[in-house]
Amino acid sequence: MTNEGSTGSPQGWQEVVAAVRSEVPLVHCVTAAVSMGLVADGLLAAGARPMMTETRAEAPTVSAAADALLVNLGTLSTDAMDGIPATVEAVQRRSIPWVLDPTAIGLAPVRTPLARELAKLGPAVIRGNASEVLVLAESGEGGRGADSTASSDAAAGPARELARRTGAVVAVSGEVDVITDGMTAVTLAGGTPLLTRVTGTGCLLGALTAACAAVTDPLPAAVAASTWLKSAGEQAARRAAGPGTFRIQLLDALDEVGR
Amino acid sequence: MTNEGSTGSPQGWQEVVAAVRSEVPLVHCVTAAVSMGLVADGLLAAGARPMMTETRAEAPTVSAAADALLVNLGTLSTDAMDGIPATVEAVQRRSIPWVLDPTAIGLAPVRTPLARELAKLGPAVIRGNASEVLVLAESGEGGRGADSTASSDAAAGPARELARRTGAVVAVSGEVDVITDGMTAVTLAGGTPLLTRVTGTGCLLGALTAACAAVTDPLPAAVAASTWLKSAGEQAARRAAGPGTFRIQLLDALDEVGR
Amino acid sequence: MTNEGSTGSPQGWQEVVAAVRSEVPLVHCVTAAVSMGLVADGLLAAGARPMMTETRAEAPTVSAAADALLVNLGTLSTDAMDGIPATVEAVQRRSIPWVLDPTAIGLAPVRTPLARELAKLGPAVIRGNASEVLVLAESGEGGRGADSTASSDAAAGPARELARRTGAVVAVSGEVDVITDGMTAVTLAGGTPLLTRVTGTGCLLGALTAACAAVTDPLPAAVAASTWLKSAGEQAARRAAGPGTFRIQLLDALDEVGR
């Protein structure tokens, strides 16, 4: 992994990872049904604690007790559409950091305008692939499903503009991750193509970012989460024979790397 | 694996598998919550791309960008009940192939009449176990939950009738799979009993069938998907110590077999 | 594992496990979205059969055909809120045993009063961690998310009172499990901390308890399910390198132990 540009971070990624493991933050996740299991198991493997409910009746109340919130728009259910705005308001009022993951926006008619509204509500970090960030920056039309059709490079400029406009750190994930607070930008290479062969690794990155944002500032949090997942992915790839064994080794590796 | 009867197929299963891997079809899945993870990971392992959302507000729009659609009625949520008819209409208008998987129909009071209505709307393939196919052919009362209480043999005649009536290829899975377009019938043995010890392998077969239907005609698509899953299951069974390790090896094997 | 106190059980845990494997009970689960996959795969590994749907439109009808019901309040959806009361009524009318798992009650504004109402409707077993049992016994304010902040020891007295008041066996899980019918109490040590590093092992314990309650009385059922999971956990821990491999080995071990 290479860091290019100034990191803007007071802490190395291993310190952030150690802080997650010692503070065991409770991360409330409103996230895609398809990747809920990986997100929860990944948070537990990372040393954090997941909590999951998305209804308007319960999500705002329980999120107020969390250390961080992830809002991921994948497979957006009616319950989630209804519960997300009040849940974001609840964490905002308590200054609990939250991460916006605008999964698969572009074509989708509800989540695209919803993501635009949510981006105005003070997320600590906006995390997406290049296509998603381009849509949110109003510079692109979106990818196909959860996959990006643009490169992180192409999203670097729009990501910086989006960060300036929203006050959020914007983290663009791909072969190379680009993370920016609008002024400094950090570029992270490394990882493995196997991360694209397992459902929900992007959602998991959003959840790890939320766990890190519970223990440090948004920029070092986003950098640490990306580095953590890339390092774990590299270790898992060395032990895996295919996408099934990779998914399992990834969870073991999240628990191991950076110690 | 043995093919009995004329295959009716212009392509061998390995050619279909190769086409999925090179064309990377985007498969929109409205499917059971309990097996969503296996379906998505299985499609990725197979070389296809999953996309999952089921609301009436979004599913019809995003399915219009897909290469194939799976409609599986397992654990049918209110969102899915509401979203499925419009989603099927959206793919019909664009001649996108779609697969109907009438999971656990029989006793269930909503999905049983819904499956009968959907069967009239031009699915490329109807895939189910013997009990489900018998209910849809109005020759049986259904199994217990997702399990069949009838044999594929008993369903062969009703499957042929159902294929004639609906214009769909009907694929009956079990120890022996029977696949028919109403005229020819293909019988596939092989596989492993471990496929019944993991949740969602039937749902995954429906999703693989949809991925194959994106690259070839319905009959060779259904035959290729069944053969692919049975071959992967056989390989995984040789490497597995129990149902947990089997599930993981199955994903690795979907990525490996037929190359 | 040590049993302290009189067991109150006519059967050893291995006999109960053998009965599940030979009778293959159909267990209807209304359970947390995040752990549905582990619950279903765990029931299959144990030799039982899962069935999952939660809507008011279908859950009551299909549960009437089940051998046991699990009602777990984790990630409670609008569909589940709406479907649970009628589903419990449906199994009550048929004297089908059911298990109440009041996941994460305390802070949550809907599931907490719902759990109190359901506890009055004749569950065979109430299964929870110490914090959840204390809330239900109105002796505590709940944990954080799905985690207990109290010890099983502290819950032993309130568990006994709760058992007397409801007529249910109350099973408190933790490092040590305490299971009581209000008169006798069984204490079970053993297991492994890795069980807390995987999402849904508590939900799975509830489902195994339901499977056992389909083949024997509530007290031996709860004791057998706890012993089964602890034994499988111990075996899996010996084979696992981390939380990812542990989850997979746990499923294999559920299939193996007690034979």
Q: Which residues of A touch B204 (CB under 8 A)?
A: none
pLDDT by residue (tens digit) across B14-44? Answer: 999 999 999 999 999 999 999 999 999 999 9
Q: Has residue C259 been placed in a domain?
A: no
Assess C34–A contact: CB distance below 8 Å, yes or no: yes
Rounded to 5 degrees, φ, ψ at A8 are 65, 15
3-state secondary structure of B123: coil
Q: Has residue C150 been placed in a domain?
A: yes
Would the pLDDT of C98 be above 60? Answer: yes
Q: Has residue A30 been placed in a domain?
A: yes
Q: Has residue A258 been placed in a domain?
A: no
Chains that touch A (3 or more CB pairs under 8 A): B, C
- Asked whether the beta carbons of residue A243 and residue B44 sit closer than 8 angstroms, the reply is yes
Q: Which residues of C115-125 are buried (b: 16+ CB within 10 A; e: fewer)?
A: beebbebbbbb
Would the pLDDT of A76 be above 70? Answer: yes
% pLDDT > 70, chain A: 95
Assess B243–C contact: CB distance below 8 Å, yes or no: yes
Confidence (pLDDT) at A99: 98
Confidence (pLDDT) at A156: 94
- Banded model confidence at residue C204, pLDDT cuts 50, 70, 90: very high
Confidence (pLDDT) at B170: 98
Would the pLDDT of A190 be above 70? Answer: yes
Average pLDDT over residues C210-222: 97
Interface size A-C, in CB pairs within 8 Å, comes to 105
Confidence (pLDDT) at A7: 44
Name the residue facing A77 among B26, B79, B253 (closest C-beta). B79
pLDDT by residue (tens digit) across A128-161? Answer: 999 999 999 987 777 777 777 788 888 999 999 9
Count: domains in chain C = 1
Instruction: Name residue C68's beta-bridge partners.
Output: C27
- Asked whether the beta carbons of residue B40 and residue A199 sit closer than 8 angstroms, the reply is yes
> What is the Rg, in whole angstroms, of the alpha carbon atoms belonging to chain C?
16
State the first-to-last Cα distance of chain A, in angstroms, to the nearest integer. 17
**CATH number of domain containing B133:** 3.40.1190.20
Measured distance CA(B93)–CA(B88) in Å, rounded: 9
In sequence order, which residues have a C-beta less than 8 Å from that of residue A249 and are 6 or more positions away? A235, A236, A237, A239, A240, C244, C245
- Banded model confidence at residue B8, pLDDT cuts 50, 70, 90: very low
Would the pLDDT of B5 be above 90? Answer: no
Show the tokens assigned to B55: 């609301």
Would the pLDDT of B213 be above 60? Answer: yes
Confidence (pLDDT) at A10: 40
Q: What is the DSSP letter of C177?
A: E
Average pLDDT value over all residues in chain B: 93
Confidence (pLDDT) at C3: 42
Average pLDDT over residues C127-135: 96
Assess C113–A contact: CB distance below 8 Å, yes or no: no
In sequence order, which residues have a C-beta less than 8 Å from that of residue A170 and are 6 or more positions away? A125, A126, A127, A133, A159, A160, A162, A163, A179, A180, A181, A182
Owning domain of residue B112: 3-256
C146: closest chain A residue by CA: A51
Average pLDDT over residues A111-128: 97
Measured distance CA(B40)–CA(C59) in Å, rounded: 25
Confidence (pLDDT) at B11: 73
In what order do the strands lie in the sheet containing C49-52?
C3-4, C185-188, C177-180, C169-173, C125-129, C98-101, C68-72, C26-30, C49-52
Name the residue facing C33 among A28, A36, A49 (closest C-beta). A36
- Asked whether the beta carbons of residue A109 and residue B57 sit closer than 8 angstroms, the reply is yes
Confidence (pLDDT) at A138: 87
- Asked whether the beta carbons of residue B107 and residue C61 sit closer than 8 angstroms, the reply is yes
Assess A32–B contact: CB distance below 8 Å, yes or no: yes
Confidence (pLDDT) at B9: 41
C148: closest chain A residue by CA: A49
pLDDT by residue (tens digit) across C232-247? Answer: 999 999 999 999 999 9
Pick from B258, B187, B220: nearest CA to B21:
B258
Confidence (pLDDT) at C199: 97
- Banded model confidence at residue A259, pLDDT cuts 50, 70, 90: confident
**Is the separation of the CB atoms in B155 and B133 below 8 Å?**
yes
Average pLDDT over residues C101-107: 94
- Looking up tokens 């993991």 gives B198
Show the tokens assigned to A124: 């600590």
Rounded to 5 degrees, φ, ψ at C245 are -70, -30
Confidence (pLDDT) at A2: 39
Average pLDDT over residues B48-76: 97
Determine how β-strand A3-4 pairs with β-strand A185-188.
antiparallel
% pLDDT > 70, chain B: 95
What is the number of other CB atoms lying within 10 angstroms of the CB of residue B156? 18
Q: Which residues of B touch C54 (CB under 8 A)?
A: 75, 77
Q: How far is CA A152 from the centre of its chain?
A: 15
Alpha helices (H) along C109-197: 111-119, 130-136, 152-166
Would the pLDDT of C149 be above 90? Answer: no
User: CA–CA distance from C62 to each of C27, C89, C91, C216 (Å)?
Assistant: 10, 12, 10, 22
Q: Has residue C217 been placed in a domain?
A: yes
Show the tokens assigned to B141: 């009362």
Q: What is the pTM of this model?
A: 0.94
Q: Which residues of C touch B135 (CB under 8 A)?
A: none
Q: Has residue A259 been placed in a domain?
A: no
% pLDDT > 90, chain B: 88
pLDDT by residue (tens digit) across C52-73? Answer: 999 999 999 999 999 999 999 9
Q: Which residues of B touch C61 (CB under 8 A)?
A: 107-109
Confidence (pLDDT) at A143: 72
Pick from A131, A123, A89, A91: nearest CA to A107:
A131
| Window B:64-83, CB contacts with C under 8 Å | 74-78, 81
Assess B223–C contact: CB distance below 8 Å, yes or no: no
In sequence order, which residues have a C-beta less than 8 Å from that of residue C3 and are 6 or more positions away? C186, C187, C188, C223
- Asked whether the beta carbons of residue A242 and residue B250 sit closer than 8 angstroms, the reply is no
Q: Which residues of C touch B198 (CB under 8 A)?
A: 41, 44
Measured between CA atoms, how close is C242 to chain A, in angstroms?
Answer: 5
pLDDT by residue (tens digit) across B54-65? Answer: 999 999 999 999
The residue count of chain C comes to: 259
Confidence (pLDDT) at C151: 83
Among A92-106, A148-162, B18-32, B244-258, whose mean pLDDT is lowest? A148-162
Name the residue facing A55 among C76, C145, C241 (closest C-beta). C76
Query: Helices B78-93 and B111-119 sit at what angle, rounded to 10 degrees?
Result: 0
